Structure 1
Amino acid sequence: MTIVVGYVPTPEGEAAFDQAIKEARKAQSKLVVINSSRGDALVDKRYAGETEIEGIDERLGKEGIEHIILQPVRGHDAAIEVLEAAEAHQADLIVIGLRRRTPVGKLIMGSTSQRILLEADCPVLAVKAG
């Protein structure tokens, strides 16, 4: 079994990562962590730095979870990167984080989350922070 988690260094990304670890432990699965950037800005706060990636790698190693960490910068949006990683690694589950929304914001979901939920060929587990 393989689980793909879309990771960003935010509370939502951390919630998705934590849940993905739980799911990987429970199913004794391989975990594919994907953190991407379009590469169209000098600074992308959603792209994890070297220290953050080392922390992820260390944590998964201590947990004994087989894993791969991907950080593509190919000009694609995050939804495409997660969906392509899920297809390439034959994912059985995708885990993503969702942001809290205002009442008006609840009428529409974020385009990245919505695209993953609608286009994924496997189940998607969406989690909220806190």
Structure 2
Amino acid sequence: MTVIVARTDTPESEAALSAGVAESRRRGEDLVVFNLDGVRLDPDDTVEGAPVSFEEPDPRDRDPVGSLLDTATRREASLIVIGLKRRSPTGKLLFGSMAQHVLLEANAPVLAVKAGAKPE
């Protein structure tokens, strides 16, 4: 089984990554960082001292969240960890929400983490 962290270059994603590392250690499972924006943000194959593998959406794919969910299914994810940003109702209406898409469509449990949250 695998813990997958959805990541972009945001404080919310950094909080999600910390929570994902903690969960993968607690569960004794592999950690996969899925870089939603297709940019690998880490210089090596460890994050906070934990071994990690990286995946990115296919650059031709217009739906990176769909790629994330496909990866979660393929990797038999036990958990998907996402960063959560507060958005206004208008912002949600006009731009949609990647987090909402993941929460509604994922076949695995989803842990949503706010920026500044510290994993236990």
TM over 0.5: yes
Q: 1:110 to 1:28 in 2, by over 3 A?
A: farther
For residues 32-73 of structure 1, give each alpha carbon's deviation from its aligned partner in whole angstroms, at most 9, with x where no partner exists: 111134xxxxxxxxx435xx3215x2325x33x3x3201222
Contact 1:3 1:29 in 2 (8 A): yes
2:7/2:13 contact within 8 Å kept? yes
Q: TM-score, normalised by structure 1?
A: 0.75
Q: Which runs of 4+ in 1 moved over 6 A?
A: 106-109
The alignment status of 1:126 with 2:112, answered yes or no, reads: yes
Give percent identity, aligned residues only. Answer: 39
Select the structure that is richer in helix: 1
Contact 1:34 1:81 in 2 (8 A): no
- Does structure 1 residue 80 correspond to structure 2 residue 41? no
More strand by proportion, 1 or 2? 2
Within 5 Å, which residues of 2 pair with 1:45-84?
47-49=38-40, 52-54=41-43, 57-59=45-47, 62-63=49-50, 65=51, 67-72=52-57, 73-84=59-70
Q: Would you say how many aligned residue pairs link Structure 1 and Structure 2?
A: 114
Structure 1 residues without counterparts, runs of 5 or longer: 38-46
CA 25–105 in structure 1, closer or farther in 2 if over 3 Å, else same:
farther
Q: Please list the CA deviations of residues 62-110 of structure 1 after superposition, one character each: whole Å capped at 9, or x if unmatched.
A: 33x3x320122232323112101101101111000011234x4597695
Q: CA RMSD in A?
A: 2.2
Q: Which runs of 5+ in 2 are unaligned?
A: none
Contact 1:78–1:112 under 8 Å retained in 2? no
